[in-house]
Amino acid sequence: MGNSYVYRKVHSLLGVVPLGGFLMLHMVTNYAAFQGGADMFREKVQAIHELPLLLALEVLFIWLPLLYHGGYGLYVAMLSRAHVTRYTYGRNVMFALQRVTGVVAFVFLVWHVWTTRGQVGLGTVEVDGLGAHMHDIATNALYYWLYIIGIVASVFHFANGLWSFFVSWGITVGARAQRVSTVVTMVLFVVCSSMFILALNAFLDSSFAEASADVFR
């Protein structure tokens, strides 16, 4: 109890607001590549980069929450043991998957943010060249599959984390509510990971290729 209760609640809340919210917004921005091709994707990215105080917003609503959620999450995962007797077999599997996908998502994110937003910050990739940059990444077979793994792990971690969030904030109390919540969050997982994967596949199109300023070549 005491402080660790508060640390856990903050950890749980940050996973949904703002990090889950960011993931949903990010999915919509990327989905523009599938929906409207290179032009629509460029417009969405430009709109984000025109936001006032963008760096401060990113630090406050993405990077600091990610550091806390990831850091504390790793710490908790190393300390606690699975509740083998308290929950059903299925829930224990989900509990184990939640930890594994958390670690995979964190490693993916460090690489992904460094090679996208990090390179824009360093000036090696232009904001208008992000579509071409994503084309170069998606057309590399190794990177393509690392993205598939990263997407599936991150979205599962978010959707299944939402299930735990509803329990720990007293929203799904009974067994029936928790069964319904399992179905809803797993549908969310399938829909959102499919949208991300459709976006990734859209970047394979050669219409994204022009104006490439690639850091991988």
Rounded to 5°, angle at Cα 134 from 128 and 136? 110
Q: How many residues belong to the site for ligand HEM (CB under 6 A)?
A: 23
Sign of CA dihedral 8, 91, 83, 86: positive
**Closest approach of ligand HEM to the CB of residue 91, in Å:** 24
| Contact assessment for residue 150 and residue 196, using Cβ atoms and an 8 Å cutoff | no
Question: Is there binding between residue 120 and ligand HEM (CB under 6 A)?
Answer: yes
**Closest approach of ligand HEM to the CB of residue 23, in Å:** 5
What backbone torsions phi and psi does residue 81 show, to the nearest 5 degrees?
-105, 160
Over the window 100 to 119, marking each residue x when it contacts ligand HEM by CB under 6 A and - when it does not, the resulting string is ---------x--xx--xx--
Q: Which of 101, 154, 160, 185 binds ligand HEM (CB under 6 A)?
A: 154
Question: Is there binding between residue 62 and ligand HEM (CB under 6 A)?
Answer: yes
**Closest approach of ligand HEM to the CB of residue 167, in Å:** 22
d(CA 208, CA 205): 6
- How far from 153 is each of 9, 19, 64, 88, 126, CA to CA, in Å? 23, 15, 21, 23, 28
> Which residue stretches of 50-88 are H helix?
54-58, 64-79
Question: Is there binding between residue 209 and ligand HEM (CB under 6 A)?
Answer: no
Determine the residue with CB nearest ligand HEM: 116
| Contact assessment for residue 22 and residue 103, using Cβ atoms and an 8 Å cutoff | no
Question: Is there binding between residue 162 and ligand HEM (CB under 6 A)?
Answer: no
By beta-carbon proximity to ligand HEM, the closer residue of 32 and 164 is: 32
Give residues in contact with ligand HEM (CB under 6 A).
23, 26, 30, 45, 48-49, 58, 62, 109, 112-113, 116-117, 120, 130, 134, 147, 150-151, 154, 196, 199-200
